Amino acid sequence: MVWVTRVGLALVVIITVFAAYLFTAVRSLEVEKLSDDLHVLFGMGGNVAVLNTADGTVIVDTMTFEMQGDRIKEVAMELTGKPVIAVINSHYHLDHTHGNPAFDPGVRVVSTERTLHHLKQLDSEHFADAPHTMPNETFSGVHRLVFGDKHLQLVSPGLGHTDGDLVVVFEEEGVIHMGDLLFNGHYPNIDLEAGGSVKAWPATLERTLQLTFDRVIPGHGPVTDRAGIRQFQRFMAQLGQIGQASVDNSMSLEETLKTDLLTEDAGYEEIKMVVPIGLDRPFVITRAWEEANGKITPRK
Ligand SMILES: [Zn+2]
């Protein structure tokens, strides 16, 4: 009996410590200043941009948990002194949208039409208690927003990570937020089920490079510049070539996974959400093979 109690107590302690660790990890945000009016928040999930405008605060993406949405609101208020009036969602994935329900009624929530479509199809339950935080202003192609003295250009440059990603140009700051069209130093998720494409991704990046900017906020990884996009573009092009070669030479997935043609991933690390989440070298080669061979094994 005493033994059982001790084991039980040890378990309670372990679970409590782990829960406390998780709580801290989820709530902690690192802040980087890009200009007087633009900051980036790094945390568990996609990178968040916080823009101060005369009208109020505008943010891009909301990370993974509603609790993080609350924290983003607090930090945004500390940085700008103004409440969040608009949330832009770069795409539908939960590590960029699940903080949305923390935001107040009346908030503008902007995304592409495809992103709203995917959210409705795949994730509407998460927004059941806060339907006002589903996108309520959608577009395809290009969409311009003006907040006081700040001009934003939202561009949907084409297929890549999904079929509905947008890029935000902060014109006065010379900065773009690329969402998950750019993973900087990490293996990307390639959501073929939601219209993503290895083949199309390099051309989509080329269209993004036509925009006017100097610095780049990626969906994951540190802030970079045009050279960072070029590097990732070479990586995606190699993946496309590997997929094509597997078709040309009738190669199985197993054979394709042994490729030595992928070199641009030198130094890439797997993304972790406390633990690695399966975005690694075999994953990206598998996706390239699946798309090229028309044999997609659906993933959740
Ligand atoms: Zn994503």
* Residue 12: predicted pLDDT: 79
Spacing, Cα 190 to ligand 1 middle (Å) = 8
Spacing, Cα 263 to ligand 1 middle (Å) = 23
* Residue 4: predicted pLDDT: 66
- Is pTM beyond 0.85? Reply is yes
Spacing, Cα 162 to ligand 1 middle (Å) = 8
Spacing, Cα 180 to ligand 1 middle (Å) = 5
Cβ 291 vs Cβ 199: under 8 Å: yes
Spacing, Cα 161 to ligand 1 middle (Å) = 7
**Nearest-angstrom CA–CA distance, 225 and 117:** 31
Spacing, Cα 219 to ligand 1 middle (Å) = 8
Largest CA distance in the chain: 71
Q: Length of the chain, please?
A: 300
pLDDT in tens, 33-59: 999 999 999 999 999 999 999 999 999
Spacing, Cα 113 to ligand 1 middle (Å) = 16
pLDDT in tens, 132-185: 999 999 999 999 999 999 999 999 999 999 999 999 999 999 999 999 999 999
Inform me whether the pLDDT recorded for 1 exceeds 60: no
* Residue 82: predicted pLDDT: 97
The superfamily (CATH) of domain 30-293 is: Ribonuclease Z/Hydroxyacylglutathione hydrolase-like (3.60.15.10)
Cβ 127 vs Cβ 100: under 8 Å: yes
pLDDT band at 300 (very low <50, low <70, confident <90, very high): low
pLDDT in tens, 179-224: 999 999 999 999 999 999 999 999 999 999 999 999 999 999 999 9
Domain boundaries along the sequence of the chain:
30-293
* Residue 269: predicted pLDDT: 94
Spacing, Cα 288 to ligand 1 middle (Å) = 17
* Residue 274: predicted pLDDT: 80
* Residue 23: predicted pLDDT: 74
Spacing, Cα 149 to ligand 1 middle (Å) = 30
Residue 274 CA from chain centroid, whole number? 17
pLDDT band at 13 (very low <50, low <70, confident <90, very high): confident
Inform me whether the pLDDT recorded for 21 exceeds 80: no
